[in-house]
Amino acid sequence: MCISRIVALVSICALASCSTTVNSAADGKHSVQLVRQAVFAEPGSGALEISTRELEQILQDGSAVVLDTRPHREWSVSHIPTAINVAPKPGVPVALYTSDVAEVGRLVEGDKSRPLVLYCNGPYCGKSKRVAGELLEAGYTNVRRYQLGAPVWRALVGVMVIEPDGVRYVFEYDQTAIWIDVRDYSEFGKSSIPGARNLPRSGVLAGKDVGEVFAAKNDGRLPMEDHNTRIIVFGQDCNQASEVAEALAGEAFHNVAYFAGTYEAIKVLVE
């Protein structure tokens, strides 16, 4: 089943369930909830699939270990919050990358009943499928997949996390990335990382279409001609950064990640 068919089916369901006032805010919210409840539903894939909404709940209550089955660098550059990455299976070519089941075993201290949720790069990515299959063969009894993966998470939720080694990699190799410092202007004026743009958290939270984000769209601080541009958000601490990252994701910027450490930590990383 192709992703275009999934989108079509979800759209049909959404339209069928709406009243004649399909453009109302209430109908829009209802349609979003329908999409959040969708799964890829690939037949014969082994592990049960979960929806975006189910994954959000799992992250909120901590009821499962979420495993990012992509290579370490992909995980370090941007991953779903709290997701853990494990080492690759030895001797496997990069085109058939697979996380090491033995490493998963060490992570869960041999508890094969531990709830696990796997994801990778979306519906057509085979990494989470391969790992799920090997885990089931090894006797794991509670393995699920978020097969919609990182791309759909970005589209529906938006917020990802960047790790310290991901910060170093992006800063060195991605010259198109935009770095957003969300500390107050007085702090930003004293020091920041090279090339950073200031988008004070206090102004961002002032409100949609009236606050700092609206201004930044018009003055060039935000990439209005390419919403897929990588945006890295950092602040005095994790809370500052995550709040602004969520606000930017809500403005249709599709490649937003926040640094969960302190300003002092990220400054050291890029010096």
Using alpha carbons, list the distances in angstroms from residue 134 to 74, 90, 129, 142.
22, 14, 9, 13
162 Cβ neighbours under 8 A, 6+ residues apart: 76, 77, 78, 170, 232, 257, 258, 259
The domains of the chain, with CATH numbers, are 37-153 (3.40.250.10), 159-270 (3.40.250.10)
Q: Which residues pair with 178 in a beta bridge?
A: 231
- According to the model, what pLDDT value does residue 7 have? 40
User: Cα separation of 46 and 233, whole Å?
Assistant: 37
pTM over 0.75: yes
- 227-237 residue pLDDT tens: 999 999 999 99
Tokens of 36: 């959040």
The amino acid occupying position 190 is K
Show pLDDT as tens, one digit a residue, over the chain (271 residues). Answer: 344 433 433 332 333 333 333 455 556 566 777 888 999 887 766 899 999 999 999 999 999 999 999 999 999 999 999 999 999 999 999 999 999 999 999 999 999 999 999 999 999 999 999 999 999 999 999 999 999 999 999 999 889 999 999 999 999 999 999 999 999 999 999 999 999 999 999 888 876 666 889 999 999 999 999 999 999 999 999 999 999 999 999 999 999 999 999 999 999 999 8
CB contact at 8 A, 85 and 70: yes
pLDDT for 98: 93
What pLDDT is stored for residue 33 in this prediction? 78
Q: pLDDT value at position 23?
A: 52
pLDDT value of position 42 = 79
Beta strands in 50-108 (DSSP E): 65-68, 84-85
- What does the pLDDT look like over 148-201, one tens digit per residue? 999 999 999 889 999 999 999 999 999 999 999 999 999 999 999 999 999 999
Angle between helices 25-36 and 149-156 (to 10 degrees): 160
pLDDT of residue 20: 36
Token pair of 114 as six digits: 């531990």
In single-letter form, the type of residue at position 223 comes to P
> Quick one: tokens of 177?
């990335």
Residue 234 has φ and ψ, to the nearest 5°, of -145, 160
pLDDT for res 137: 96
Would you state the structure tokens that stand for residue 116, as one six-digit string? 């696990």
Q: In this predicted structure, what is the pLDDT of residue 205?
A: 80
Distance CA 92, CA 96 (A): 6
- Residues 6 or more apart whose Cβ sits within 8 Å of residue 6: 38, 40, 123
